[in-house]
Amino acid sequence: MKTKSQWQELGQSLNFRNLAYINGRFQPSASGETFPSINPATEEVLAEVASCDQADVDLAVTAARKAFQAGVWSRKSPAERKAVLLRLADLMEQHRDELAVTDTMDMGKSISEMVSIDLPDSIDCFRWTAESIDKVYGEIAPTGNDTLGLISHEPVGVVAAITPWNYPLMMATWKLAPALAAGNSVILKPSEKSPLSVLRLAELATEAGIPDGVLNVLPGYGHTAGKALALHHGVDVLAFTGSSRVGGMLMEYAGQSNLKKVWLEAGGKSPMVVFDDCSNIEKAAQTAAAAIFSNQGEVCIACSRLYLQRSIKDRFLTALLEAASAYQGGDPLDPDTRMGALVDKAQLDTVSRYIKSAMDDGATVLTGGLPEYIPGRGFYVEPTIIGDAKNSMTFVQEEIFGPVLAVGEFDDEAEAIELANDNRYGLGASVWTDNLSRAHRVSREIQSGMVWVNGWGGGDSTMPFGGVKASGNGRDKSLHSIEKYTDLKTVWISL
Ligand code: NAD
């Protein structure tokens, strides 16, 4: 691992790509407009980035459609597409330090997380999906003797992917790998808060052999570039990761335009439930801290609601407060930093508002609290744990997306399940117990797409990632992710 000064040096030496990537070329936005991309730890402007709108979306959709119809990618054999995507994974590996430092400077997360989580996961996602694509078979239906019923998977055409700022490279990768592997053309709109790493990724994709027009990247705001993509009649599938609020708007845009399919990976307010038969309280407490403070709590699966069985509450809180003290905010480029800066001032204000509302509602701040913002010094919040939390309180119900943990308590299993399910989201859940039957019972009853037993956040490219209820509908990763980017074609042949 590089030292802090080596990371700083690398960051200073980078020439950030800041233009739209359309048809294999960087170009300014049609309007000439730009927006600043800011380093949240220092508030310095890293780059003025092309701000795309309808005109750029039209250009990108035309390029993407033309490439798709020409068959330069869509009609390549799966084995050929696999080879190109494996080359892209190799290029990401070669440029991993550059990609890591770009996301760290662009959105404020610690470099150690970039190096240990985002980069290996993103590279593996490309490799695993590329390796899978020439192993996906069609089917022959069990029809009668005088017919042959063929069922095959076809690429959908033009995919628009709209992604958030919290894992800029990784969230983009989870869409790009399956969409490209399946033979589609893709237009990616990254968040305006962290657009830089995927612009470099697009360039590497061309170097790997992705033909022009097959991968386009349009930086820009949600209400301009994002909305124009979502309303576009030339887009066949919209794959989104972001808030449930915007996810709902995208469904409306699809309804107002061409009924494009909309896949949503949306928000969360995941519970962690710890039963008194959990023997490893230390480990559970350390995991509870990691589950809310890693990536500054800006994690869709952050366990922001902790429910403790009453008899272990005090012992658990002592261990939790100790574990939380390791997450004080620091320079994201320092490899020892475990918590970086929030992405921007708006996010800092949102987090402050929720901490204030918790205090107004009568909850008790056990550590951390309202941040003191010093202009020019970055957007930092202390790890904050708030006890006496009740499900009726706003900060327990709504997604905060910051390092703020609500702690409540329960008496028995039925109450734990009821508290965990009393929320509009259903993304992840963490359950701690030494009782195998209880682990199965509670996992089955909890309304969420993912459950971790005696852990949090576990998963790899083989496992689907996604939620239920207001957390969305689609699944990223695993073979199931490919289903989002293919249509079933049936051919009924009369013999
Ligand atoms: P957001 O919804 O504000 O923005 C997400 C993307 O949508 C951005 O690119 C944004 O520019 C775009 N957008 C905004 N308004 C739009 C509009 N009207 N039309 C089209 N596009 C629009 O979310 P965010 O703040 O970037 O990210 C945080 C959210 O993402 C949290 O809710 C988090 O839980 C969620 N998230 C979910 C997952 C998951 O896998 N379920 C993973 C990561 C983040």
Q: Is the CB of 481 under 6 A from ligand 1?
A: no
Is the Cα torsion angle 55, 59, 64, 65 positive or negative in sign?
Answer: positive
Q: Are residues 408 and 341 in the same domain?
A: yes
Atom of ligand 1 nearest to the CA of 253: 19
**CB contact at 8 A, 234 and 260:** no
Q: Is the CB of 352 under 6 A from ligand 1?
A: no
Shortest-distance Cα residue to atom 42 of ligand 1? 300
Q: How far is the CA of 267 from the centre of ligand 1 (A)?
A: 8
Give the number of other Cβ atoms within 10 Å of residue 147's Cβ.
Answer: 11
Q: Is the CB of 226 under 6 A from ligand 1?
A: yes
Q: Is residue 492 part of a domain?
A: no
Which run of H or E residues covers position 92?
helix 78-94
**For 154-158, what is the mean pLDDT?**
98
Q: Is the CB of 304 under 6 A from ligand 1?
A: no
Q: How far is the CA of 398 from the centre of ligand 1 (A)?
A: 15
Q: Is residue 23 part of a domain?
A: yes
pLDDT of residue 32: 98
Average pLDDT, rounded, for the chain? 98
Q: Is the CB of 162 under 6 A from ligand 1?
A: yes
Q: Is residue 373 part of a domain?
A: yes
pLDDT band at residue 452, thresholds of 50, 70 and 90? very high
Q: Are residues 444 and 365 in the same domain?
A: yes
**For 474-484, what is the mean pLDDT?**
97
Atom of ligand 1 nearest to the CA of 165: 26
Q: Are residues 249 and 373 in the same domain?
A: no
Q: Is residue 472 part of a domain?
A: no
Q: Is the CB of 52 under 6 A from ligand 1?
A: no
pLDDT band at residue 145, thresholds of 50, 70 and 90? very high
pLDDT of residue 29: 98
Shortest-distance Cα residue to atom 20 of ligand 1? 226
Atom of ligand 1 nearest to the CA of 265: 41
Is residue 398 part of the annotated active site? The answer reads: no
Q: Is the CB of 223 under 6 A from ligand 1?
A: yes
Look at residues 234, 266, 298 and tell me which one is the last residue of a structural domain: 266
From residue 166, give the alpha-carbon distance in Å to each of 157, 172, 221, 289, 403: 28, 11, 16, 18, 13
Q: How far is the CA of 161 from the centre of ligand 1 (A)?
A: 11
Q: Are residues 18 and 117 in the same domain?
A: yes
pLDDT in tens, 401-429: 999 999 999 999 999 999 999 999 999 99
Q: Is the CB of 57 under 6 A from ligand 1?
A: no
Amino acid letter at 359? M
Q: Are residues 373 and 386 in the same domain?
A: yes
Q: Is the CB of 89 under 6 A from ligand 1?
A: no
Task: Using most ligand atoms within 8 A of CB, pick from 52, 122, 166 the residue to mutate for ligand 1.
Answer: 166
Task: Using most ligand atoms within 8 A of CB, pick from 199, 232, 300 the residue to mutate for ligand 1.
Answer: 300
Q: Are residues 315 and 371 in the same domain?
A: yes
Q: Are residues 303 and 338 in the same domain?
A: yes
**For 326-349, what is the mean pLDDT?**
97
From residue 216, give the alpha-carbon distance in Å to each of 102, 249, 366, 404: 19, 23, 47, 36
pLDDT of residue 267: 98
Q: Is residue 487 part of a domain?
A: no
pLDDT in tens, 194-249: 999 999 999 999 999 999 999 999 999 999 999 999 999 999 999 999 999 999 99
Q: How far is the CA of 240 from the centre of ligand 1 (A)?
A: 7
pLDDT of residue 54: 98
pLDDT > 70 in the chain, percent: 100
Q: Are residues 206 and 343 in the same domain?
A: no
**CB contact at 8 A, 470 and 123:** no
Q: How far is the CA of 194 from the centre of ligand 1 (A)?
A: 12
Q: How far is the CA of 164 from the centre of ligand 1 (A)?
A: 4
3-class SS string, the chain: CCCHHHHHHHHHHCCCCCCEEECCEEECCCCCCEEEEECCCCCCEEEEEECCCHHHHHHHHHHHHHHHHHCCCCCCCHHHHHHHHHHHHHHHHHCHHHHHHHHHHHHCCCHHHHHHHHHHHHHHHHHHHHHHHCCCCCEEECCCCCEEEEEEEEECCEEEEECCCCCHHHHHHHHHHHHHHCCCEEEEECCCCCCHHHHHHHHHHHHHCCCCCCEEECCCCHHHHHHHHHHCCCCCEEEEECCHHHHHHHHHHHHHCCCCEEEEECCCCEEEEECCCCCCHHHHHHHHHHHHHHHHHCCCCCEEEEEEEHHHHHHHHHHHHHHHHHHCECCCCCCCCCECCCCCHHHHHHHHHHHHHHHHCCCEEEECCCCCCCCCCCCCCCCEEEECCCCCCHHHHCCCCCCEEEEEEECCHHHHHHHHHCCCEECEEEEECCCHHHHHHHHHHCCCCEEEECCCCCCCCCCCECCEECCECCCECHHHHHHCCEEEEEEEEEC
Shortest-distance Cα residue to atom 16 of ligand 1? 222
pLDDT in tens, 297-336: 999 999 999 999 999 999 999 999 999 999 999 999 999 9
Q: Are residues 297 and 204 in the same domain?
A: no
Q: Are residues 332 and 205 in the same domain?
A: no
Shortest-distance Cα residue to atom 15 of ligand 1? 222
The first and second tokens of residue 253, run together, are 């845009």
Q: Are residues 399 and 364 in the same domain?
A: yes
Look at residues 214, 243, 266 and tell me which one is the last residue of a structural domain: 266
pLDDT of residue 217: 99
Q: How far is the CA of 243 from the centre of ligand 1 (A)?
A: 4
Q: Are residues 127 and 196 in the same domain?
A: yes
Q: Is residue 475 part of a domain?
A: no
CATH of the domain at 382: 3.40.309.10
Q: How far is the CA of 237 from the centre of ligand 1 (A)?
A: 17
Shortest-distance Cα residue to atom 30 of ligand 1? 242
pLDDT of residue 456: 98
The Cα–Cα gap between 108 and 104 comes to 5
Tell me which residue range forms the domain holding 302: 271-463
Q: Is the CB of 268 under 6 A from ligand 1?
A: yes
Beta-strand pair 425-426/428-432: unpaired
Number of domains in the chain: 2
Q: Is residue 338 part of a domain?
A: yes
Q: Is residue 486 part of a domain?
A: no
Q: Tell me, rounded to whole angstroms, the distance of Cα 26 from its chain centroid.
A: 25
**Per the residue annotation, which of 113, 265, 298, 399 is the catalytic one?**
265
pLDDT of residue 141: 98
pLDDT band at residue 459, thresholds of 50, 70 and 90? very high
Transcribe 30-91 into DSSP letters: TT--EEEEE-TTT--EEEEEE---HHHHHHHHHHHHHHHHHTTTTTS-HHHHHHHHHHHHHH
Task: Using most ligand atoms within 8 A of CB, pick from 191, 197, 398, 427 the residue to mutate for ligand 1.
Answer: 191
Phi and psi angles of residue 157, each rounded to the nearest 5 degrees, phi first:
130, -110
CATH of the domain at 212: 3.40.605.10
pLDDT > 90 in the chain, percent: 100
Q: Is the CB of 17 under 6 A from ligand 1?
A: no
**CB contact at 8 A, 480 and 133:** no
